[in-house]
Structure 1
């Protein structure tokens, strides 16, 4: 039997493909319980995190957390020191008669609360979309915080919102804007939890250690094309290439004729008419956002009608493009070409962004297009964008399932940063074996999720001449 040298044990609920697992293993923990209802995600988790282990180290694997948390019986979850959960957001009852644990009943958060109530792990770490702490979910937020305090967890009423692109590469950052709410609690007993409520958030949303988010480079998470099996399936089609080429010609013509890039508002080529041709009564009947876009497009046409006319004459095929491909949103600042940007082919049009940090991965296949590579991001690269290591594998499953799993996943670096910060802040109320293990772990949870170029750039930027820093006496 393999010796268990782990400093602490943890349960991984709504585990997905193992974002929490990656960083908690890095912290020196051992997973004793994992729950994931989606079969394909569970298989990915097992392939990467469980099957490589000695059988004696395998966690209990659950497929439905509701079956392990009966309302009037013991929970079927082994003791553990840390509970992590990227739980689904569900609406709670708004009866007005109950609060906390009672009101959470009937939701999946209640199942988490049942485990916390019975096992009282030292730390609870929850992750959810940013909207859980937004104005439309004030009631849900209050119920979550009240429930945790009733059980005995000291938590902040202020959400910790964080994104992996705020972290430098050496601390586990990746070039992805992915704002998520983290809720962290330390078990101190009900009396203290209900009285010690003036708790600041664990982290503040913003760059860490002076990292400039504009120093990110999307290339740092890319694989060499020569290393990608079936590379052709990620290449742009002839139609997609034509869409980009035609729009890129407009970018070049604008720069040549006007010395400027395209404006930042959505360009709707079908709405390019003189402003005097707009019907004020029709504009009044439209939502304000839409009427403003139409007015801006008309003014753009009036200012550049000669460039637009020549461009359209040069590309008669543009009229046959799908409607959504006759729309472009330029968010790429001073990029010289569409082929130097990161693009997304969205139902609302083509969006182009600077090739620094990427938009949040989502659980659908609107996959980022890397203009310089003329192809889409692969699932393996998307996993690295979430901070997972290079050896992470999806096996032979369909790419659509892999993209979905990544889009639903937890950013490893962001989770590690908030967890480690919480442990440091609460070290006097936590098991010292847990504290020592977490604080002694290396700064970055997945050292190879970004290329060595990222670390070299971070080092170079951090060692700029003193004239770039404020001078002090």
Structure 2
């Protein structure tokens, strides 16, 4: 065995000891919970997974989507003894009346992956009143009444973009008026920036996290020079290019009805044709395809382009046409031979006669991760996958000649292999996973925040977070991921001799 492998179980490096971790979690389960939490806009339980991992007990859940709520209850509520089960709510607006106390039990941590809605700009008050009428206002009402020690919110990265500056200001100002010390600088983070041992997964999923500690209104309004909880950068020397999509995949022989995930005859023919061009380029010139979109229907000499037509087009489109013409001029003999060898190519749907190569030096299209998009086939290197979203083209794993299954998609979000969709429609499962929060990323920002603000937080909460194993995702990744990390991460292996 490689000399570096014992470091996988060296607690001085990281808490990899499975037996020790199980003992800690068992002790927490037998005793009283270290803290209580409310899980709003809960989805299928990404926040629940990591807060339970930290020793917390869920006392309140709210999720309006019926199928997502069923998945949540099946996995996180029904396994609990009746006395420990949280209240399950269907609509947070019903629990947050204007004038009465909120119908949410006391708790220490409030977590919410809330929807982003436009805020009224009348009066530019940028506070609690301006948030009224949005779902963020319902969160604010709960914080106002219950003042949990920590609030953890998650949203899409666009919430901090130039089109949402006003919304961002309202959120930060409202939290401060209620008494939460928060940073006005967003914490943007993605699970692929974490190494496997800290809960990372091979998914590029940039999300904004807003973390606040309750310190009272006076302090919150005066202590505004707060840095972001985390920065968007790899953690502990992890090389993000070391990710391997295989680490979240099941063996095909273990997948029920695996045939329904396999590519169709037509889909296979599309990939085979484009793969032939990839291989011809490597064989003839030793180069990869260019990174701009290849539009085979527009391959013609550059001299044939009409400058007046180009001028009338949007610049992005004219530039793509020019690049395609130059690609044709440079590789005309290869393209002609390829077209003769693939006579059915012109009968493909128009969107399948387009290819966007983002797979660097990958030798074959069948070795990439693909997406069949309305704009064409997109190919990426098989290191990490793009963000799962609620409605999108499911990733195609070229080496498996099939799509990602819902369970594999859930592992990209950091859920363990025990997560059950219990025969639910695949379309609903994909949607639920795409709407979820990445367990490892949420745990990283939450743990970092608790460590930083420990002096202002309840001792039991701080102790529980510090005691919890560093990896909240369990068996989401194959063991090969940890072995690879131990062998290739300087923070674990030490300096590499030159």
Taking structure 2 as the reference length, what is the TM-score of the superposition?
Answer: 0.93
| 1:207-356 equivalences in 2 (<5 Å) | 207-356=234-383
* 1:171 and 1:443 in contact (8 A); partners too: yes
1:419 is matched with: 446
Tell me the equivalent position of 1:149. 176
| Structure 1 residue ranges, 4+ long, deviating more than 6 angstroms after superposition | none
Q: 2:404 — aligned with what? A: 377
Cα distance in structure 1, aligned partners of 2:92 and 2:371: 36
8 Å CA contact 1:170, 1:447 repeated in 2: no
Q: CA deviation at 1:125?
A: 0.1
Correspondence for 2:57:
30
Measured at CA, do residues 313 and 402 of structure 1 come closer, stay the same or move farther in structure 2, by a change above 3 Å?
Answer: same
Look up the match of 1:192: 219
- The residue aligned with 2:24 is none
Pick closer, same or farther for the CA change 1:248–1:379 going to 2, 3 Å: same
Q: Does 1:136 align with 2:141?
A: no
Within-5 A mapping of 1:65-144: 65-144=92-171
Match of 2:391 in 1: 364
Asked whether the equivalents of residues 6 and 29 of structure 1 are also in contact (C-alpha less than 8 Å), the reply is: yes
Aligned alpha-carbon RMSD (Å): 1.1
Match of 1:438 in 2: 465
* 1:284-318 deviation per Cα after TM superposition (whole angstroms, max 9, x unaligned): 11111111100000000000011001100111100
Contact 1:246 1:315 in 2 (8 A): yes
Matched, 1:466 2:488: no
Structure 1 SS opposite 2:209? strand
Conserved in 2, the CA contact under 8 Å of 1:275 and 1:299? yes
Structure-2 separation of matches of 1:210 and 1:281: 52
Cα contact 1:4–1:57 (8 A) shared by 2: no
* Structure 1: unaligned runs, 5 residues or longer: none
Count of residue pairs brought into register by the alignment: 468
User: What's the offset of the Cα at 1:366?
Assistant: 0.6
- 1:409 maps to 436
User: Are residue 41 (structure 1) and residue 68 (structure 2) matched?
Assistant: yes
1:105, distance to aligned residue in structure 2 (A): 0.2
2:25 counterpart residue number: none
- Give how far 1:365 is off: 4.3
1:330-389 deviation digits (Å, cap 9, x = unpaired): 000111100100000000000000000000001124100000000000000000000000
Which residue matches 2:199? 172
User: Is 1:451–2:478 an aligned residue pair?
Assistant: yes
Match of 2:415 among 385, 388, 394: 388
3-state SS of paired residue (1:124): strand
**1:464 to partner: Cα distance:** 5.2
Q: Give, in whole Å, the separation in 2 of the partners of 1:447 and 1:67.
A: 35
Counterparts in 2 of 1:321 and 1:34: CA distance versus 1, 3 Å: same
The Cα offsets for residues 44-80 of structure 1, whole Å up to 9 and x where unpaired, read as 0001000011011100000000000001111000000
- Contact 1:365–1:400 (Cα < 8 Å) also in 2: no
Instruction: Using the TM superposition, give the Cα deviation of residue 466 of structure 1 relative to its aligned residue in structure 2, in angstroms.
Output: 2.8
- Tell me by how many angstroms 1:97 deviates: 4.3
Assess, with a 3 A threshold, how the Cα gap between structure 1 residues 87 and 311 changes in structure 2: closer, same or farther: same
Distance in 1 (CA, whole Å) between partners of 2:252 and 2:316 is 41
Question: How far does the alpha carbon of each residue in 1:116-155 deviate from its partner, in whole angstroms, 9 at most, with x for none?
Answer: 0000000000000000011110000000000000000000
Shift of 1:99: 2.1
CA deviation after TM superposition for structure 1 residue 95, in Å? 1.1
What is the CA deviation profile of residues 188-222 of structure 1, one whole-angstrom value per residue up to 9, with x for unaligned ones?
00000000000000000010000000000000000
In 2, Cα distance between the equivalents of 1:287 and 1:417?
42
* Cα distance in 2 for residues equivalent to 1:4 and 1:82: 19
| Whole-angstrom CA distance in 1 between matches of 2:297 and 2:464 | 60
1:96 is displaced (CA, Å) by: 2.8
Q: Secondary structure at the match of 2:331?
A: helix
State the secondary structure of the residue aligned to 1:466.
coil
Closer/same/farther in 2, CA of residues 387 and 365 from structure 1, 3 Å limit = same
SS in 1 for 2:466: helix
Shift of 1:467: 4.0
Q: What is the alpha-carbon distance in structure 1 between the residues aligned to residue 417 and residue 201 of structure 2?
A: 13
Alignment match of 1:206 (pick from 220, 225, 233): 233
TM-score when normalising by structure 1: 0.98
In 2: Cα distance, 1:285 partner to 1:302 partner:
23
Distance 2:395 2:61 in 1: 31
User: Aligned-pair distance for 1:465?
Assistant: 6.7
